[in-house]
Structure 1
Amino acid sequence: MYCPASPPIEYSISKLGDNVYQMGSKFICEKTVGEIPGDAIASWKDCDDTTYYLRKATSKELSSAEKQEFKDVIYQAGTSSSVWSIGTSVICKVKTCCDEMELESITLAFVAGNLPHMPIPKVVFSWRDTEWNRTFLLLKRIKGQTLHSAWPSLSLEHRDKIAATISRYCRDMATLQAPALQSATGLGVLEPFLNVNAENSHPSWKPRLLGPFHRGVFEKYIQRISEQPAPLLGDVFHFYHADLGPTNIIVSGDGEVTGVLDWESAGFYPKYWISLKPYMSAGFSLGSKESRREWVDLFETKLSEVGFELNREDVRWCEQLHMDFFDVNKALLED
């Protein structure tokens, strides 16, 4: 059911005055050239030698009638997600949330602790706004441009180098294992391509989690939605980013990967999902009709070289899944 969040996601940040911004229902972000006040809970330097800081909002500020839309939007995805520039060195990512949903900042901390060589954004500050049902994530910008933007100007050698690097990262991530389909810390995962469709009454802004499911329950779930025999599951689940499309990879002009973004769907998945997901999601495609599958095809080749070969029967299996809504927890977990 189409239903915007309240307030709508595009009003998650509003402008109260020159260099003063309200973030969600609780905090104020200000830009200063002077000292950072003692009540600041986070601060960061911008590229022009000014400083931004975050503090709790006063009741007067929250009730201000002078609020204006903050228009420095980098990206917006429907009713559930938006990203803003905060100066030149930090971005603010806002996403609607639901109960038991993993904070992306926690996933980033998990990656930093277990895969320190992985180039990920540095978290400045993160919080869950329970009143507005959304999360706020302040991240340091990463130098470079998205693979999507850089692709036309990259040489074949540099494209090959990038695909090989991302594939090695997938191999490294997959060495981390868990006994269940789950997030980094054991919650459900945000994976719409494995989740059944939403109930008609489900609001479009509200994320839907799948799991956590131990092997037996996940196997039963897959059997329930499968028309053809499902891929071999394996004994464990492997950590995977799950959204390595060209807009989530930051690269330099010489083919170096400088950053991997958007870890909100990361978690422990069946091994077959590592090579299968790029074929199921349009987010892995490039923009132009002529080149739209070039990243998918090159990525598939490099994944196969590190042990994740795509089975074409798995593609056909996934394309024919029955995704009509049913109450997953009631049908599977209460048996």
Structure 2
Amino acid sequence: MLFILRWIPARLKLWIYTSLSRLLPEEQGGAGGKVHFFKFRIPLVLKRSDRIESTEADALRFLNRVVPHLPIPKLIDSFRIDDVVYTLMTRLPGHNLTQLDREEEFTEEAMKPIVQDVLDIIEELWKVPQPAELNGQVMLSASGGGLPHPVAFHESLGGPYPSTYDCYKTMVMNMSAHPPGHFNPILKDKIVWVPTDLTMRNVLVHNGRVSGMIDWEDSGWLPRHWFLHTLRFPRPGCEGAWARYWYFTHRFEPEIEEAFDASNASGVLTYFLCP
């Protein structure tokens, strides 16, 4: 099947895929008209990326290889038309947390098994070693390109940078203005694979447990504390019991929290690290 798809012209594939699918409304996680769900109970999803590097397809290709056991969509096909990349992937079961939260307000007690499932997935991701040839590079995608940069309000890519220090130099107005050693916890923090958009709409739940995590387009190699910024910054999709749990209840390893506190200190970051 995959061999046959390689020989179908891109525009014909797009016509076939869109004919078999429907546009997912944004309130259901449709990401601004970029996601199509297939009809006729076909468990596939088509997603459009408005860039040609650091795409959803690049991330899924990498993740399917290094963590095939995790509940992450499987890449079926990808193709480019002009400056747009289309990714065909499997559809995971369940409803996202935003949809479920509309029906019934989650309590922290009800969130615990869901949060634990998420943490187990993150732990597996953080066990994936960064290839030696990358040698501590950050803001680095699976394709070797950059990731959405906070300075550009996440509208354009930045990086990759050779180190966390070089990355922070692009986000901090004057690093020398801070006390000696202030950035040490940040610079010592491990480089891992970070999902940078883990909002409620990207966590799927079935029968009270996590059945999938989606939207990996902007994920990549970053220091661990970057993940805490994505969880603890209130915004649409990071609210209610979900936001309260990450902000007030859960604490990561002391080294990660120390790096987060240092990065969150007054006058350090001028830009938000999450979209």
Measured against the shorter chain, the TM-score band is: 0.7 to 0.9
Q: Please say if residues 176 and 239 of structure 1, whose CA atoms lie closer than 8 Å, have aligned partners that are also in contact.
A: yes
CA RMSD of aligned residues (A): 3.8
Question: Taking structure 1 as reference, are residues 197 and 166 closer, same or farther at Cα in structure 2, changes over 3 Å only?
Answer: closer
Distance 1:79 1:159 in 2: 24
Match of 1:168 among 95, 120, 128: 120
**Structure 1 residue 188: deviation in Å?**
0.5
Q: Which runs of 5+ in 1 are unaligned?
A: 1-35, 43-53, 63-67, 199-206, 286-291, 324-335
**Per-residue CA shift, 1:188-244, capped at 9, x if unaligned?**
0124xx33358xxxxxxxx51110001142242233377974753234422111111
Residues 1-335 of structure 1 mapped to structure 2, 5 A cutoff: 40-41=4-5, 55-56=8-9, 72-75=22-25, 82-87=34-39, 88=41, 89-98=43-52, 101-129=53-81, 131=82, 133-151=83-101, 152=104, 156-178=108-130, 179-181=136-138, 182-191=140-149, 194-197=150-153, 207-215=155-163, 216-224=165-173, 229=178, 232-235=185-188, 236-253=190-207, 255-280=208-233, 282-285=235-238, 292-300=239-247, 304-305=251-252, 308-309=256-257, 311=260, 314-317=263-266, 321=270
Percent same amino acid at aligned positions? 18
Q: Distance in 2 between matches of 1:78 and 1:90?
A: 14
Pair 40,306 (structure 1): closer, same or farther in 2 beyond 3 Å? same
Equivalent position amino acid for 1:256 in 2: R
- Secondary structure at 1:164 match in 2: helix
Residues 161 and 234 of structure 1, relative CA distance in 2, 3 Å threshold: same
Larger Rg: 1
Classify the secondary structure of the residue corresponding to 1:218: helix
AA paired with 2:172? Q
Residue 245 of structure 1 aligns with an amino acid whose one-letter code is: T
CA contact (8 A) 1:240 1:268 kept: yes
AA aligned opposite 1:144: G
- SS of the aligned residue for 1:124 comes to strand
Structure 1 residue matching 2:173: 3-state secondary structure: helix
Q: Which amino acid aligns with 2:246?
A: F
Aligned-residue offset at 1:137? 0.9
Structure scoring higher RCO (CA < 8 A, sep ≥ 6) equals 2
Which structure: greater strand fraction? 1
Per the TM alignment, residue 265 of structure 1 is displaced from its structure 2 partner at its CA by 0.9
State the secondary structure of the residue aligned to 1:72: strand
Residues 50-107 of structure 1 show CA distances to partners (whole Å, capped at 9, x for unaligned) of: xxxx932789xx9xxxxx9999210459997511122232221112115xx2232221
- The alpha carbon displacement at 1:269 in A equals 1.1
Q: How many residue pairs end up in the alignment? A: 248
Uncovered stretches (5+) of structure 2, i.e. residues with no partner:
131-135
Q: Indicate how the Cα distance of structure 1 residues 252 and 218 shifts in structure 2: closer, same or farther if over 3 A, else same.
A: same
| TM-score computed with the length of structure 1 as normaliser | 0.61
